Amino acid sequence: MKKLTLIVFLSCSFATPVSWSADFNKGVTAYQAGNYKAALAEWRPLAHAGNARAQNFLGFMYDNGEGVLEDDLEAVKWYRLAAEQGNSKAQYGLGVMFANGEGVTQSNVYAHMWWNIAASNGDRQANENKAVIASQMSAQELSNAQSLARACVSAKATKIVIRKDRQPRRKSRPKARCCPRKQCHRRA
């Protein structure tokens, strides 16, 4: 499962036409060359500054132990920060973490929720995983997952509307969590 996730993640991440900063590009080049320490050196400051793509890559590296010791809690932390900014690859990664119980308590409901959100942001693999896991869930669990996903998306939309009336924030991450009662933010 992790190998397939790695292949899908890398092919989609590097193929996406995005305007990256020079530091981020240096990290990509280093990562592709297998120089994970150099990639971390480029991405870590960007991630701490709130760059969702860098946060996602740090999550992926901690998830797979590339250049760092494998640390599921740290992977969830970075995935979550990027996912809250709308990064569909990080949302997909959180779904995997919840499905497998890595760094979080195993939950098909939260796996479905994150894959649902990622799928709504265009991630095809998340859409496939969501369908598979839905077949393993009760009607009540499925309803709960869909409600949580709607609440997250709605909370995100509300933040965007509010920000249009004010000056843009320069903070490294959103102040409020995306979901009511922070249910999708529990650690194991």
Higher pLDDT, 17 or 115: 115
Q: What is the model's pTM?
A: 0.73
Domain that holds residue 27: 2-185
Asked if the model's pLDDT at residue 108 lies above 70, the reply is yes
Domain count, the chain: 1
6-61 pLDDT per residue, tens: 444 444 444 443 444 558 999 999 999 999 999 999 999 999 999 999 999 999 99
Cβ–Cβ under 8 Å, residues 152 and 113: yes
Cβ–Cβ under 8 Å, residues 136 and 108: yes
For the chain, count helices (H), then strands (E): 9, 0
Cβ–Cβ under 8 Å, residues 91 and 183: no
What sign does the CA torsion over 177, 182, 183, 184 have? positive
**Strand locations in the chain, DSSP E?**
none
What span, in angstroms and rounded, lies between the C-alpha atoms of 81 and 180? Answer: 16
60-89 pLDDT per residue, tens: 999 999 999 999 999 999 999 999 999 999
CATH number at residue 178: 1.25.40.10
Classified as helix, coil or strand, 42 is helix
